[in-house]
Chain A
Amino acid sequence: MIAELGHFALILSLCVAVAQSTLPLAGAARNHAGLMTLGSAAAIAQFFLVAISFAALTHAFVVSDFSLKVVASNSHSLKPMIYKISGVWGNHEGSMLLWVLILALFGGLIAGFGRNLPPPLRARVLAVQAMIAVGFLLFLLLTSNPFERLYPPPANGNDLNPLLQDPGLALHPPILYVGYVGFSIAFSFAVAALIEGRVDAAWARWVRPWTLLAWSFLTGGIALGSWWAYYELGWGGFWYWDPVENASFMPWLVGTALLHSAIVVERRDALKTWTILLAILTFSLSLIGTFLVRSGVLTSVHAFAVDPDRGVFILLLLIIAIGGSLALYAWRAPTLKGGGLFAPISREGALLLNNLLLTTAAATVFIGTLYPLLLEAVGGGKVSVGPPFFNATFIPLMVPLVAALAVGPLLAWKRGDIMGALSRLKVAGAVTAVALVLCAALAWGRPILGTIAMGFAVWLAAGVVTEIAERIRLGRIPLRQSLARAGGLPRSAWGMALAHIGIAGIIAGAAGATVWKEEIIHVMQPNETMEIGGYTLTYDGVQDSRGPNYLTRKGLFSVSKDGEPVTKMYAERRRYLVGGQQTTEAAIYSTLAGDLYAVVGDNDGQGGQTVNVYYKPLVPWMWIGSTLMVLGGFVSLSDRRLRIGAPSRKRRKPAAAQPVPAE
């Protein structure tokens, strides 16, 4: 009964979305206030209806209602509660429902917090948002109905893929989706601006916080996925340039470019058509990502059940959305008036360079991801494009980006002084040189590439510190005044500094983990020891035990350093009772200097166990760096300048009148 209610609510939300996608548009064209406000009411109604539907599905998972097909094939009554709930989005139908829920949530947020938007713009944005919703609701209802009944209902379910039964992965999809789908707002704003034929600083001020919000979540989602791959899959890596990883990385790259170009629109009223294009491309890449992982073109843990109809349907949606918006762009963009001028060496110029490099990098990733599909489609044989391709194309493009990243923020708007900026970076340059020498000495005999990467990381971090020090005039005025200035810096300045320092952390961690890693594969007998990364690892044998829904064999290790015991750790091989699948749980001992990482394989029948041990220097810096990036996004989001249009409770209370920024 509850499931039928959910199904009904979903159908109803489709009707509401159809109304929302048309009537406000007509209202905006005829300047009819009633029709325009209808958009907001419809957006909120649509959100509540989809939320009811989602709640109904969650209920079915929580009570293990196996008469629903998705529950029966993806859940089990023995499963811990958290995985029953995460099972809601651990399957194709439920994850698409989550997608639509987040889409509707963003529509509702615009309706709720967008009261100070000009009514025609708001009406158009909500209408575009609803058009996307119509497409995806149709997709859900026609090809992937989550409320499909099963008769007769089975006594128990098939269980969730054990790899997905992990706390990190319970959170990964919702966070990633908020990022993916959050870019729909930038897209809707871009399309609405094209319809209106007007883009100005106020528009950019509107788009930026939403983009920033989506970007922060996408960054967090990707980092979480990478972290999961690192500790759960047991292959010791964190990024494989797998098509599904690239699917989330491409919108991230272009979204990062959008984030930066929107600053130029906001501050200098320039790069307008380019920013519109980036907004369209970012969401288009989100859609392509959804297509890649959901259509079954690629089989992976993300591609759940595969049904050719679904692929065709998403492809159709993709063509309509991307083709339509790009056609609109080609038609309307030339009518947008150009904005402020700037010299090539200027903050705008630096941000443009950032944009060019990021979009070019996204293009190379795009080619690498889709080339095998294209080649196969034209009968050119089956190929795979692996990590070497991406390393050979992506890294060379990131080198100038990172090198320039330290300089860009020191350039003035409109006309910058490159020599002045470089002379202010003298200290940063000296620090980098010292770090390079130190690194080379410490890592003598190891690949020089690692040392170079560390140099870039230090250069970037020192550049960020220089920028902040310049702004607070550190060392040139009394410290107390400098600190007062630091307190007075806008939050967005701190946000930028955090995010950029985060990149330095990621560079250091990624380089340490790949270039400087040590690896040993060996069949170990109990009490045998091995030396790796300065640690002595003793294998203590195996121990069998039982988890809530699996049996596990633990390989026990004692770790010591210079004769002193450091820690004990264990790696597991789990066998899940319901599906019989096997999973590997790595043993990880993590310090700031690096991770000791061990995985146990099969036993050789004589008491020995295949053991794969890695020492990966600096890995935690990658996770710290990603966290700083996300944090930077949120700190920046809390900047007062961006409050206009961003979710903010204070604005809505009449008592706490917030100073409204000029413009």
Chain B
Amino acid sequence: MTRKRLRLYAVLSGLAMLGIATALVLSALSDNLVFFHSPSDVVENSVEAGQRIRLGGLVEEGSVARSDGTVLFAITDMKTTIPVRFAGIVPDLFREGQGVVADGQLDGKGNFIASEVLAKHDEKYMPPEVADALKRAGHWKEGEGPEGASYK
């Protein structure tokens, strides 16, 4: 085993690994990328039913109802409102008038079936400018979207 040959092997195996990683990443990205939409986006861009998306906005005041383990509420951006169904326990910070992101799909009848509901962790930790904008306009400012919400 010469030094040259050793280097060749190392470089080749490194490249092979890189190739595998690229293939894995590309295939995983094409299948598992979830786009974020506001209710208005959903209507304007006519998102297809069954496509997994994240829907973000405010929980509409007075919209929350419960029936046998399912939570019904509506997500609004003050322009468009979409009713949401979620079977499960909503996070602690889920509240009417608060920002929320739901992960799921449209059912084709205008309802959004959420498989997960993520609420902001704590109002206190929202960026101050967003909180201000929210208070001024009564509007959850789009632009603090999906990665803003988190379980943690």
Contacts and interface: CB of A to CB of B under 8 A. Distances in A.
A242 interface: yes
Contact of B144 (A299, A364, A397): A299
Interface string B88-115: 1111110000000001000000000000
A58 interface: no
Given A383-B33, A386-B32, A392-B31, A367 B25 contact: yes
B146 A397 contact: no
B49 interface: no
**DSSP majority for the B interface?**
mixed
A663 interface: no
B133 interface: no
Interface in B112-152: 120-122, 124-128, 144-152
B78 interface: no
A396 B24 contact: yes
A338 B152 contact: no
A393 B27 CA distance: 9
B81 to A, nearest CB: 20
A299 B150 contact: yes
B102 to A, nearest CB: 12
A309 to B, nearest CB: 13
Contacts of A300: 121, 150, 152
Contacts of B31: 388, 392
B35 A602 contact: no
Nearest to B27: A392
A513 B78 CA distance: 40
B125 A389 contact: no
A498 to B, nearest CB: 28
A599 B89 CA distance: 8
B151 A385 contact: no
B43 interface: no
Interface string B17-55: 110110011011101111110000000000000000010
Contacts of A386: 32, 34, 103
A360 B21 contact: yes
Interface in A324-373: 338, 341-344, 352-353, 356-357, 360, 363-364, 367-368, 371-373
Nearest to B149: A299
A579 to B, nearest CB: 7
Contacts of B122: 161, 163, 301, 581
B25 A301 contact: no
Interface string A578-622: 010111100000000000000111101000001010000000000
B151 to A, nearest CB: 5
Interface in A213-261: 229, 233-235, 237, 240, 242-245
A521 B54 CA distance: 23
Contact of B68 (A235, A237, A296, A523): A523
Contacts of B32: 385-386, 388-389, 392
A601 B90 CA distance: 8
Contacts of B36: 381-384
A235 B88 CA distance: 10
5 contacts: A161-B124, A234-B89, A240-B152, A299-B125, A389-B29
Interface of A: 158, 161, 163, 229, 233-235, 237, 240, 242-245, 296-306, 338, 341-344, 352-353, 356-357, 360, 363-364, 367-368, 371-373, 381-386, 388-389, 392-393, 396-397, 521-523, 579, 581-584, 599-602, 604, 610, 612
Given A301-B125, A579-B124, A604-B66, 18 more contacts: A161-B125, A163-B122, A237-B151, A240-B151, A242-B150, A244-B152, A298-B150, A301-B122, A305-B128, A341-B6, A342-B1, A367-B25, A384-B36, A385-B32, A388-B32, A582-B93, A602-B66, A612-B89
Interface of B: 1-3, 6, 9-10, 13-14, 17-18, 20-21, 24-25, 27-29, 31-36, 54, 66, 68-69, 87-93, 103, 120-122, 124-128, 144-152
